Chains A and B, each alone.
Chain A
Amino acid sequence: MITVVLLGKLADLAGAPALQLAAPLDWAGLKAALPAALAQAIDDPRNRVAVNGALLADKAALAAGAGDEIALLPPVSGG
């Protein structure tokens, strides 16, 4: 399984702070497995993606396998 962690308002769109999805996942596979509103939101360039704590420069290059953690990160609201 792959853990998908949702931060900020993306957690509201998912209805949960984390989801478990079947491995493996690429960008298209991730979007297909998410609720439609969330899948649409994560295409917004302001929303960033990290895999195992490392930010992806190019979301479309996502390649996650079993045991990986994907984080979906909306713009920060600061401290």
Chain B
Amino acid sequence: MAAHVPMRDIRLLDQMFLPGMLIGPFTQANKGLGGVCTFVGEVRLDQGVEALELTHYEPLTLSGMHDLADRAFARFELMGLLMVHRIGLMRPGEPIVCVSAAALHRRDAIDAVDFCMDHLKSAAWFWKREKRAGEWHWIEPRAQDAVDLARWHS
């Protein structure tokens, strides 16, 4: 039997997406998996938030996501990894990120998604601002993001 070639799908999208349209084919593409774990993040319906805008920097953002995928494959026993992130203008309730990992065993799939999400949230090249009462406000890094990231450095 031929060795399994890891399946990776890393994308930035500037239009609304339906996570199910990505997760279904991703799961199908990883024949023989023992488990698949998926996280979908949506724009939270926070009081007064009308819209969210994500800016990226083309030369750094997507290549940074590929570096992150490389590290996830090196750290966990994965069959496949899907990492899709929105950029541009979003409304509350819209999906903003989808990470899905397929593996022979559940722990690798679950931990890989957790690992990717902590790094996407705190170290990926995205700048976020939200519109409240018609005015844009930049979102500053949170201390909790650094704490989440530190979990993986032990």
Binding site for B on A (CB under 8 A): 5, 7-9, 12, 50, 52-53, 55, 69, 71, 73-79
A9 touches B138 (CB 8 A): yes
Q: What's the A-B contact tally at a CB cutoff of 8 Å?
A: 63
Partner of B139 from A50, A73, A77 at Cβ < 8 Å: A77
A71 touches B57 (CB 8 A): yes
Name the residue of chain B whose CB is nearest to the CB of A9: B138
Bound form: Cα–Cα A55–B63 in Å: 13
Provide the B119-137 mask, 1 if CB < 8 A to any CB of A, else 0. 0111111111100000000
B141 touches A79 (CB 8 A): no
Sample of 12 A–B contacts (CB below 8 Å)? A8-B127, A8-B138, A9-B127, A9-B138, A50-B57, A50-B59, A76-B125, A77-B128, A77-B140, A79-B96, A79-B97, A79-B124
Binding site for A on B (CB under 8 A): 41, 54-55, 57, 59-60, 63, 85, 96-97, 117, 120-129, 138-142, 145
- B140 → A minimal CB distance (Å): 6
- B101 → A minimal CB distance (Å): 16
A74 touches B60 (CB 8 A): no
Bound form: Cα–Cα A5–B56 in Å: 11
Partner of A76 from B59, B85, B126 at Cβ < 8 Å: B126
Bound form: Cα–Cα A78–B39 in Å: 16
A5 touches B128 (CB 8 A): no
Chain B residues, CB < 8 A from A7: 55, 57, 127
- A39 → B minimal CB distance (Å): 19
Bound form: Cα–Cα A48–B145 in Å: 19
- A70 → B minimal CB distance (Å): 11
B59 touches A71 (CB 8 A): yes
Name the residue of chain A whose CB is nearest to the CB of B139: A77
Q: Which of A5, A52, A53, A76 has the most CB of B within 10 A?
A: A76
B141 touches A76 (CB 8 A): yes
Partner of A74 from B63, B120, B127 at Cβ < 8 Å: B127
